[in-house]
Chain A
Amino acid sequence: MTNAAMAMTQEALAEPLLKVKNLRKLYAPGKGVDGVDFELWPGEVLGIVGESGSGKTTLLQCLSGMLTPDSGQIEYTGKQGDKLDIYKITESQRRLLLRTDWGIVHQHPRDGLRMGVSAGANIGERLMAIGERHYGNLRSTGEAWLREMEIDTARIDDLPRTFSGGMQQRLQIARNLVTQPRLVFMDEPTGGLDVSVQARLLDMLRNLVVDLGLSVVLVTHDLAVARLLSHRLMVMRGGKVVEQGLTDQILDDPQHPYSQLLVSSVLTP
């Protein structure tokens, strides 16, 4: 798995995976995304933090092709180095990206899983969608990923509703990673899970990011999660990015008064 990461970093240094310019999507003044710029590099985890209503979820939806912005540009560098303006390509191309090169991990697993089909089918669906036609292979791939996500492979035929919350979340992640995406969007991936389950999941995510050379855009209100997973942070408020930089810098030495407020309000045990 590390080969992928190495191969990634070699070509990676050339250019960013995602370039966002002057992105705007407003529901009302100060509500939504109000002029956001940033770049995301291969293998990088970018955390977006802020309180609810800051616009971070709207930003994520725009970035992942789910919400058309009012203005601005989002450019993604495809596997062949081709530059794709996300809202200028066809819906067909966008949907294909979402099924192959990208992943989306929703806060609630039931938003990202087919609850009525087995774990194995959930993992295999993306592969079936791109033409995998060997049942045995699908099954062994499913089992391999269950093992990777520390789920008992005997549960491959079980329905997701028989899984615990943490297991469902891990299943959702497996479902996304099976096509080896390069960019994964995550919206509060550990929200709603209890603390020990969260810790295990975060650990797993951290290792996966490194092993697979993933780039991640991670939206969270939880600064601890942000610190553990992100290389860089963007602090959002009222639709704008008030501060961005390396995670440790922002969390240990916030400059903007709002960031300072955010950091200081974290309960420390």
Chain B
Amino acid sequence: MTNAALYHNPDSQNDGQNDSQSNSTGYNFAYLDEQTKRMIRRCLLKAVAVPGYQVPFGGREMPLPYGWGTGGMQVTATIIGQDDVLKVIDQGADDTTNAVSIRRFFARTAGVATTESTREASVIQTRHRIPETPLSHGQILVYQVPIPDPLRFIEPRETETRKMHALQEYGVMHVKLYEDIARFGHIATTYAYPVKVNGHYVMDPSPIPKFDNPKMHGNPALQLFGAGREKRIYAIPPFTRVESLDFEDHPFEIQGWDQTCEFCGSDHSFLDEVVTDDEGGRIFICSDTDYCNQRFANGARQEAV
């Protein structure tokens, strides 16, 4: 790389943290320089062209630690524009600390509007959940991914897994599922459940609960996956076939609860378990805070306060 893109304001102070105005911190729009964004865009295009294939990219250090969403952030930083509306969730909630931290980062470095409403967002960056509210065509869901390769825990060597993907040698994945059934009577993977994309590549959907897997199939939104530390990007284009691996006689199934949401009464969303006292008391509430609030606001459940 020989270009000296003088985007960087040489007079700016090093500390971009204390300035609440957008884009006056001396950093480029959304922090990344244009060269890097261009490089990531090229990788994103490759990823979209080959659904489920892990594209290596020259990831950069971000001001948040590796493992805390830098991959998702680099993808968001690359695609976000001035008119976008950004939602950031972690565990389905907008106000978990890391979601807050990332949302602030973009508010500061890009000055974009932010929202907690799934419906209003144009870009949604998420960690470990897919929103309950169905997405629409034109929205982009950016997933934070810790370990991109579904084969990694069966085969730690990158040189070998690369070949396995290239040659579609996925027998080992079913071996793992077979073992689970032999040992537990069920497939024992409950999150980061591997899927086959477009009938070709096997992909790790990030540590979303298997409950969310069906939402990836045929989704009208564009789904992008960023792994910053491992430096991989992959994608599921809109309306793509996504199938969770299983056996014919042990078909894929999602979790369920006997309880309903304490706030909105939902019996079909993913529920968080909350311990309320030290005698085993517990209640269940929707993990997706926006979804829950919307239902509640629509009078789904009357609270006796």
Contact = CB atoms under 8 A, between A and B. Distances in A.
Contacts of A157: 182-183
A95 interface: yes
A114 B178 CA distance: 14
Interface residues of B, number: 19
Contacts of A128: 171, 174-175, 178
Contacts of B163: 91
Nearest to B178: A121
Tell me if B's interface is mostly helix, strand, loop or mixed: helix
Given A92-B166, A124-B178, A157-B182, A135 B171 contact: no
Given A91-B167, A129-B170, A135 B250 contact: yes
Summarize A's interface: helix, strand, loop or mixed: helix
A198 interface: no
B278 interface: no
B181 interface: yes
A248 to B, nearest CB: 41
A125 B175 contact: yes
B179 interface: yes
A95 B169 contact: yes
Contacts of B83: none
Nearest to A95: B167
Chain A contact residues (Cβ within 8 angstroms of B): what range? 20 to 34
Nearest to A139: B182
A238 B5 CA distance: 64
A258 to B, nearest CB: 41
Interface of A: 91-92, 95-96, 99, 114, 117-118, 120-121, 124-126, 128-130, 133-136, 138-139, 156-157
Q: What are the nearest 3 A-B pairs in CB distance?
A: A129-B171, A128-B174, A135-B247
Interface of B: 163, 166-167, 169-172, 174-175, 178-179, 181-183, 246-250
12 contacts: A92-B167, A114-B175, A118-B182, A121-B179, A124-B175, A124-B178, A126-B171, A133-B247, A134-B248, A135-B178, A135-B248, A138-B178
